[in-house]
Amino acid sequence: MTTDLGVEPTPLALLLLGRQSDPASERGTACPGELPPASDPDLVDRARAAKDALGERLFILGHHYQRDEVIQFADVTGDSFKLARDAAARPGAEYVVFCGVHFMAESADILTGAHQQVVLPDLAAGCSMADMASAEQVAEAWDVLTDAGLAGDTVPVSYMNSSAAIKGFTGRNGGTICTSSNAEVALRWALGKGQRVLFLPDQHLGRNTAVGRLGLSLDDCVVYDPRKPAGGLSVEQLRDATMVLWKGHCSVHGRFSLECVHDVRRRLPDVQVLVHPECRHEVVGAADLVGSTEFIIKTIEAAPAGSTWAIGTELNLVSRLAKAHPDKTIVFLDKTVCFCSTMNRIDLPHLVWALESLVDGRVVNRIEVDPRTAADARKALDQMLALPAR
Ligand code: 13P
Ligand code: SF4
């Protein structure tokens, strides 16, 4: 491929453009094909026409962090729990187009029927947090627990933000998946079953839920660092821990600091601070309310006119909430712009390209989890869906 200037793009440039793969990561393989230019004024009409042409054969799911230009075409919007639950809601749809990130599309493939094909409009839409736990690293951690004689009473609980391989590991070892909206029930279930939890890959969600919701202490939690031998932990530390937290985090939510909370409280004295549980523990501790993206939306919907909110989650969602609720003051918790760059990769050109390809009978960017991994992962996902409602 050459650019208009006749130069060969570098592999990094291609990856950033969504046209190259990073085989070592959760992002999957390359995004083939030519995209319509973002400047095409007919993109909205083209997306609508393709959607109409596909009719009932198409089901579009959109995560709350998606751009406005994309979310307007979603049949269902939601947080990752709602989208996992709704993925199988249209068994009649041949194509499930997932406007979200790679691990969400993998889960949709696992949860939908064999006759349905899941499409991710840009395969470079991964998740840096999910990339922080590879299948090999997790297998090694399990070996460490096994060698210490602790695997038998350790229950893996994996955040939805993980690859299908990690979900498969979780299902094989009697664990469950959780999302930010059901982490508390998932942990209560797991601790009713075993002595300790191996929580993958978001240390913050694990710690915030264990300490903030279950009343455990910070001393009950240890952090397993996959880059250190035996996770950097002694057998005693592992044995005494209730929560073995994987050293992973979200780079978007990790940006919110205690200083952001203090600063917004100084600027807006009546403000209520509402954050996602992927934020750091001290940020969650200083906030007024914490919850998943769906919880954040419902809280703002229920809030009285005239109330003031600082929200610590991805910017597309916060901007959309501010636009939808002009009777409330809604500000972003950080002063700097903070989109999830991989969620943002799904833009209108990619959506149009994916939909028009389907109209032409070409399934592009199909996400297909191998049957063995899918069967194991399905056990862990089904376990999550069977947990009691919050
Ligand atoms: P939700 O579980 O709230 O959908 O969040 C998913 C996510 O990726 C947050 O960064
Ligand atoms: Fe992953 Fe963070 Fe983006 Fe969510 S916001 S998809 S956890 S990188």
Task: Write out pLDDT tens, residues 338-360.
Answer: 789 999 999 999 999 999 999 99
Using a 6 Å cutoff on CB, does residue 314 contact ligand 2? Answer: yes
Residue 78, helix vs strand vs coil: strand
- The answer to whether the bond into 201 is cis (omega within 30° of 0) is yes
Bridge partners of residue 366, in order along the sequence: 119
pLDDT of residue 178: 97
Burial 88-106 (b: 16+ CB within 10 A, else e): bebeebbbbbbbbbbbbbb
Distance 180 CA to ligand 1 centre (A): 6
Q: How far apart are CA 367 and CA 111, in angstroms?
A: 12
Q: What angle do CA 125, 100, 1 make, to 5 degrees?
A: 30
Whole-number Å distance between alpha carbons of 162 and 183 = 14
Ligand 2 center to 251 CA (angstroms): 7
Q: What is the pLDDT of residue 34?
A: 76
Q: Which tens digits make up the pLDDT trace of 32-44?
A: 667 898 899 999 9
Residue nearest (by alpha carbon) to ligand 2 atom 7: 250
pLDDT of residue 28: 46
The confidence score (pLDDT) of residue 301 equals 98
Strand order of the β-sheet with 329-332 is 289-290, 272-275, 308-312, 329-332
Q: Ligand 1 center to residue 293 CA distance, Å?
A: 6
What's the CA-to-centroid distance between 85 and ligand 1, angstroms?
14
Low-confidence stretches of the chain (pLDDT < 70) are 1-33, 390
pLDDT attached to residue 338: 78
Residue nearest atom 1 in ligand 2 by C-alpha distance: 127
Determine if ligand 2 sits within 6 Å of the CB of residue 208: no
The atom number, within ligand 2, closest to the CA of 100 reads 6
Q: Which pLDDT value is given to residue 1?
A: 42
Structure tokens, 74: 């979603």
Residue 349 CA to ligand 2 centre (angstroms)? 22
Atom nearest to 127 CA in ligand 1: 8
Instruction: Supply the pLDDT for residue 20.
Output: 52
Instruction: Decide whether any atom of ligand 1 lies within 6 Å of the 77 Cβ.
Output: no
